[in-house]
Amino acid sequence: MDVRIDLEQSRIVVSLSASKKERESIYGEKMADLLEFSIASNGPIDFRMVHQDHLALIVLLAAHPFATGKLPIPLHVSKQFEEATRIFSRYRPEFLSTSGKPYTSTSDGKPGLAFSGGMDSTAALALMPNKTVPVFLDRPHRANTTLYNKSAAKATLAFLEAKGVPNIAISTDVEFIRNPVGFPTDLATGIPVLALASHFQFDSVGFGTVMESAYRIGHERSRDYIESPHYKVWAPLFSAAGLPLFLPVAGVSEVGTSTIVHRSPYRGMARSCIRGDWPQTCDNCWKCFRKQLIEHGINQTDFSEHQFLKSLQSKEVVSKLSAEFISHENVLGWALNKIKRGPTLDVLFNRLVASTYSLKHLDAFYPPAINLVPPKYRLHVLEQLRTYLPEMKEADQWRMIEQDFTEHLNTPQHRKNVHTLMTLLKS
């Protein structure tokens, strides 16, 4: 795969040229026809000043799912960054030289936050230092390629402006190099932060990654995220670029992020639905279904049988509920356990593995996750966490990390519960 990088004052253009072998490999299945994306700003930003290590990391975040063999990147990176890239085995990044100086922020550096305007990234903002700069990834609209509606995110940014919180929006179409449309890697949402790091003197890159994603609770098997291949690959690369990962809500469930936002100065400004036209939600996507259930659980308000059956008119919701293991099903179980359930909602609750064990730990935060925050900010984040949530009990910590429901999925009772729900979904 060849790489070309064009730098202009207000725009960066990255062009990837896949080889015939890469196009025909299993990794080529998700490539768009055109592997080119741009990063643009309307503000007084000079992208020609972006650090070479940060440019290289942007390329890796975009090319990672597709590249095989040699990946020549035309940049002079630092030796420490080049050494961190040696972890890749499917492809080998090669640079013009390793003569570049490492990036170090100034003594008054600040975190940059990959900000979407949803509950999770808003909760992250509530926990991070006041000097944090939220950076919104402004996704360009292309007809017939995505249902994305940015009106809610724009409203959230207006809330921030009204509260005097500095923020910036950067446009990038990186998600269009993937087919179907989507970010090539989960951390690619941090590309705008990387592009602005030198300008704002960022000292870290924050994400609203929650416990369900980091530790995979609410999935078939949980994991210790800090020991996972994902963390072992990307954390050293971000650190080598002088911008360590800052994951303030990695030890917080989706239940906890909603609770934090409800109790924070940002109450009422965040909305996770990215399809509805503000202030309305689309009420037709999986995220609406899940987040609305959480709201009902937190407020302990009724989620009627009629509302549930209406939700089942959504093909996306039915598809998610038909999965062998329902994504983030621990959150659904927590919410359903908090509200009064009729017989139809009981069918869903009984289908969930989460109906078989205590979910009190979702109201708390996981203390070891503080190690996913840069050392200089750990005390601040820990103090903030304690103002919103209790610490998870040690017994619950071990139970959560060691969760494995593989055997339970094969029990006769579970299979019966699955059959009952599937019958409902098809009716």
State yes or no: pLDDT of 236 exceeds 90. yes
Q: Please give the average per-residue pLDDT across 80-94, as a whole number.
A: 97
CB 327 within 8 A of CB 218: yes
CA dihedral 395, 400, 404, 409 (to 10 degrees): 100
SS3 content of the chain, % helix, strand, coil (to 5): 50, 15, 35
> What is the model's pLDDT at position 268?
84
Structure tokens at 218: 């609410």
> What is the model's pLDDT at position 276?
74
Query: Taking the model in full, what pTM does it have?
Result: 0.95
Across the strands, what pairs with 26? none
State yes or no: pLDDT of 146 exceeds 70. no
> What is the model's pLDDT at position 62?
98
Q: Please give the average per-residue pLDDT across 67-79, as a whole number.
A: 97
CB 316 within 8 A of CB 288: no
Terminal Cα-to-Cα distance of the chain (whole angstroms): 49
Q: Which residue has the tokens 């072998």?
A: 21
Query: Sheet containing 245-246: which strands, arranged edge to edge?
Result: 2-7, 11-17, 36-40, 168-172, 133-138, 110-115, 202-206, 245-246
Cα–chain-centroid distance for residue 39?
19
Amino acid at 80: Q
DSSP collapsed to 3 states, 253-318: CHHHHHHHHHHCCCCCCCCCCCCCCCCCCCCCCHHHHHHHHHHHHHHCCCCCHHHHHHHCCCHHHH
Q: Please give the average per-residue pLDDT across 375-379, as a whole number.
A: 98
Domain spans, the chain: 2-246, 273-360+404-426
- pLDDT tens, 42-58? 888 999 999 999 999 99
CA dihedral 277, 280, 283, 289 (to 10 degrees): 110
- pLDDT tens, 247-279? 999 999 999 999 999 999 999 888 777 777 887
> What is the model's pLDDT at position 272?
76
State yes or no: pLDDT of 191 exceeds 70. yes
| C-alpha–C-alpha distance, residues 309 and 187, integer Å | 35
Q: Please give the average per-residue pLDDT across 200-211, as a whole number.
A: 98
State yes or no: pLDDT of 144 exceeds 70. no
Q: What share of the chain in percent tops pLDDT 70?
A: 99
Selected residue with higher pLDDT from 353 and 269: 353
Q: What is the mean pLDDT of the chain?
A: 94
State yes or no: pLDDT of 145 exceeds 60. no
State yes or no: pLDDT of 324 exceeds 80. yes
**HSE-up of 67 (CA within 13 Å, CB side)?**
25
Q: Rounded to whole angstroms, what are the CA distances from 418 to 289, 317, 323, 422, 424?
A: 19, 15, 10, 6, 10
Categorize the per-residue pLDDT at 5 as very low, low, confident or very high, splitting at 50, 70 and 90. very high
Residue 20, judged by CB atoms within 10 A of its CB (0-12, 13-18, 19+), counts as: exposed
State yes or no: pLDDT of 139 exceeds 90. no
Categorize the per-residue pLDDT at 188 as very low, low, confident or very high, splitting at 50, 70 and 90. very high
Rounded to the nearest 10 degrees, the angle between the axes of helix 229-240 and helix 52-63 is: 160
Selected residue with higher pLDDT from 163 and 101: 101
Helix (H, G, I), strand (E, B) or coil at 228: coil
> What is the model's pLDDT at position 154?
82
Selected residue with higher pLDDT from 195 and 328: 195
